[in-house]
Amino acid sequence: MKKAIVLSGGGAHGSYQIGVWKALRELKYQYNIVTGTSVGALNGILMVENDFDKALYLWENLNFGMVFKDPIGDINTDEGKKNILKTYTKNVLFHGGMDVSRLEETVARVIDVKKFYASLIDYGLITVKFSNLASITLTKKEIEPIDLKDFVIASATCFPFFKKKKIKNDLYIDGGYHDNLPINLALEMGAEEIIAVDLNTIGIKQRIKTDNVKITYISPRNKLGSFLVFDHLVAARNIKYGYNDTMKVFKRLDGDKFTFKRNHLKRNFDKYFYKLVQKTEDILENNKTAEKILLISNYKYLLNYDLVKSFKIVNEIIEYTGDVFEIDNTNIYNINKFNNLLLDKIGDINVNHYDIEQNLNDNKINIFDKKTIIKYIYFEINNKTGKKQLLNLALLFQREFIAAIYISVLQKKEKNFWNIFKMFSKNGIIDANR
């Protein structure tokens, strides 16, 4: 069976594909064909050469100087970020795009032509002829070795941001103007199983010509930054995202935007779900309005003990809270460590409870300050004040309300068997009269 890797275009997002490749190597996934558009065409060359270390080194050391002649400055400063926009704008408006001669030099250093053509792995790319916007599809056997570098650059010529690429008497632009995810090309080359790495950047995607081939899609679950910003720190982060997302697709890791060791989320759910629901019911016990509001929201599945949908909801709350507290989402977490981080983070929020309460009374609460809202609800839950504000917040900030309850149950001791028995009986899960 011929297996293909299909790599989309995406400029600086191409580092994500190196993370995918790292995971596929660990999974010992063998492939016979690689097709790519734009940066996918460049990464595809290295995948054909099977030179992962070279690819990793390239992306981990990436900077604007490896792509453009124009100096950019420190992109991590406000001035540097403004300069990026100015530089692109000036070149697009007055020079026909950025001069990518430095990129050509980089590609020439990276590509090992002999190794590429000696490889048994087939290869294809897509570019577009500028004069008539006709797609140009080229496979390994159709590209002369002397033209290989030029056609890779042509495929990656992100017009109008980059100057058009001239090869002989024709001008070429990015293959994304025809097909940014060349699955059909892989099919034409004989692929019977495909892994498609879609960076979800701008570009046209052609309708797939057949439904008879297994296609596994891998796409970023987190934001990768601007596809026009070339920076080694951003690239290193995106490599981690690519690795994590691939392992999640192949069921070796769990999570969505965050990443957890396999089965940790299930064990966590089994440990805390009933405590979370019981705590929620205790808070809502004397307020039927709040309970009714929650029962018509997504959180009705928690109160109705729908275990399948509740599992998804609890995990979404865990990740939402991690995002609010700015926990690093590139790491692979032990769930216990992650829970401890949530407890540490909420303990680190240095806000005055009474000032928050006054702001609530004066309608001055900042609805965008989710940390403070979670902290206040958490304080009210643990101090059992029973104030009206708590239930009002439960209606206005449902995710934050459940998040605060989740954190509160993390530090509670196990309920005794009788309390759990009573809870099950109350909800009809166990017949108390048996």
Question: Pick from 321, 309, 310: which is nearest to 257 by CA?
Answer: 321
Question: Pick from 2, 31, 40, 1: which is nearest to 189 by CA?
Answer: 2
Q: Which residues contact 38 (CB under 8 A, 6 or more apart)?
A: 8, 9, 10, 11, 155, 156, 158, 174, 175, 176, 180, 203
Token pair, residue 33, equals: 């064909």
Question: What is the C-alpha separation between 55 and 110, in angstroms, rounded?
Answer: 8
pLDDT of residue 417: 42
Residue 239 clears pLDDT 60, i.e. is over it: yes
pLDDT of residue 286: 65
Mean pLDDT of 335-358: 80
Contact (CB, 8 A) for 337 and 410:
no
pLDDT of residue 433: 39
Question: What is the C-alpha separation between 421 and 34, in angstroms, rounded?
Answer: 57
- Which whole-number Å values give the CA distances from 409 to 164, 340, 342, 384, 406, in the listed order? 59, 12, 12, 14, 5
Which H, E and C letters describe 188-206, residue by residue?
A: HCCCCEEEEECCCCCCCCC
Question: What is the C-alpha separation between 126 and 136, in angstroms, rounded?
Answer: 6
Residue 230 clears pLDDT 80, i.e. is over it: yes
pLDDT of residue 62: 85
Question: What is the C-alpha separation between 320 and 311, in angstroms, rounded?
Answer: 14
CA–CA–CA angle 328, 330, 336 (5° rounding)? 65
Token pair, residue 118, equals: 């000696």
Residue 34 clears pLDDT 80, i.e. is over it: yes
- Which whole-number Å values give the CA distances from 91 to 88, 235, 324, 346, 380, in the listed order? 5, 24, 38, 47, 56
pLDDT of residue 280: 86
pLDDT of residue 359: 59
pLDDT of residue 368: 62
- Better pLDDT: 201 or 292: 201
pLDDT of residue 285: 74
Residue 411 clears pLDDT 80, i.e. is over it: no
Token pair, residue 329, equals: 């989402």
Q: DSSP assignment, residue 162?
A: B
Mean pLDDT of 303-307: 87
Cis peptide before 145, with omega less than 30 degrees from 0?
no
Question: Pick from 129, 131, 181, 197: which is nearest to 157 by CA?
Answer: 129
217 phi, psi to nearest 5 deg:
-95, 140
- The distance from CA 246 to its chain's CA centroid, rounded to whole angstroms, is 10
385 phi, psi to nearest 5 deg:
-75, -30
pLDDT band of 281, cuts 50, 70, 90: confident
Please give the torsion angle defined by the CA atoms of residues 378, 381, 383 and 387, in that order, rounded to the nearest 10 degrees: 110
Mean pLDDT for the chain?
87
pLDDT of residue 358: 59
- What one-character-per-residue DSSP string does 87-153 give? HHHHHHHHSSSB--HHHHHHHHHH--HHHHHHSSSEEEEEEEETTTTEEEEEEGGGS-GGGHHHHHH
Which H, E and C letters describe 218-250, residue by residue?
A: ECCCCCCCCCCCCCHHHHHHHHHHHHHHHHHHC
pLDDT of residue 167: 94
Question: Pick from 92, 249, 229, 251: which is nearest to 161 by CA?
Answer: 92
Which stretch of DSSP H or E encloses residue 378?
helix 370-383
- The one-letter code for the residue type at 432 is A
> What pairs with residue 218 in β-bridges?
197
- The radius of gyration of the chain's CA atoms, rounded to the nearest angstrom, is 27
Q: Is the pTM of this model over 0.85?
A: yes
Q: What tens digit of pLDDT does each residue of 122-161 get?
A: 999 999 999 999 999 999 999 999 999 999 999 999 889 9
- Which whole-number Å values give the CA distances from 214 to 5, 82, 90, 219, 314, in the listed order? 12, 44, 45, 16, 32
Which H, E and C letters describe 5-64, residue by residue?
A: EEECCCHHHHHHHHHHHHHHHHCCCCCCEEEEECHHHHHHHHHHHCCHHHHHHHHHCCCH
Place of tokens 């958490």: 378
Residue 373 clears pLDDT 70, i.e. is over it: yes
* Least confident piece of the model among 187-196, 266-275, 411-420: 411-420
- Which whole-number Å values give the CA distances from 284 to 87, 374, 391, 392, 423, in the listed order? 57, 17, 8, 11, 14
* 3-class secondary-structure state, position 4: strand
pLDDT band of 31, cuts 50, 70, 90: very high
In percent, the amount of the chain with pLDDT more than 90 equals 60
